[in-house]
């Protein structure tokens, strides 16, 4: 398994890009962030890590596998993933990872 220095300038720059990406997803789809900031930070870090390691923001909650020399998410989940957009968020109020929520879900689950 590859490792990254999470305090490196490269990783910190990718974290900022990933934050801008998740901001854009929220804006585009009318989502809000999870009310627990630890959830958002963990998922953002995972997305940034996958982007640096594999070139795509694969969902950090699912395994990344190599197939025919290419990396892919075991459940074909690249953020924002189709299962989250079509089922999880509309039906449960949040995506599997929890970063993207409906405003109603976030309000109901505030600490």
pLDDT tens digit sequence for 5-47: 888 999 999 999 999 999 999 999 999 999 999 999 999 999 9
Q: pLDDT band at residue 69, thresholds of 50, 70 and 90?
A: confident
pLDDT at 1 over 60: no
Q: pLDDT band at residue 2, thresholds of 50, 70 and 90?
A: low
pLDDT at 94: 97
pLDDT at 64: 86
Over range 49-58, report the average pLDDT: 93
Retrieve residue 17's tokens. 């890009």
Whether residue 59 contacts residue 78, with contact meaning beta carbons closer than 8 Å, is answered with yes
Q: Tell me the whole-structure pTM to 2 decimals.
A: 0.90
Query: What is the fold of 9-108?
Result: Ferredoxin Thioredoxin Reductase (3.90.460)
Nearest partner of 99 among 84, 82, 77, judged by Cα: 84
Nearest partner of 102 among 41, 44, 32, judged by Cα: 32
Strand partners, 58: 78
Instruction: Write down how long the chain is.
Output: 111
Residue 110 vs residue 95, higher pLDDT:
95
């Amino acid at each position: 398994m590859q490792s990254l220095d999470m305090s490196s300038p490269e990783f910190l720059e990718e974290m900022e890009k990933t934050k801008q990406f998740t901001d854009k997803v929220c804006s585009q789809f009318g989502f809000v962030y999870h009310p627990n900031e630890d959830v958002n930070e963990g998922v953002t870090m995972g997305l940034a890590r996958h982007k640096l390691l594999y070139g795509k923001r694969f969902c950090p909650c699912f395994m990344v596998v190599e197939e025919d020399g290419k990396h892919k998410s075991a459940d074909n989940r690249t953020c924002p993933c189709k299962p989250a957009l079509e089922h999880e968020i509309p039906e449960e109020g949040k995506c599997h990872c929890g970063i993207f929520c409906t405003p109603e879900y976030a309000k109901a689950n505030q600490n």
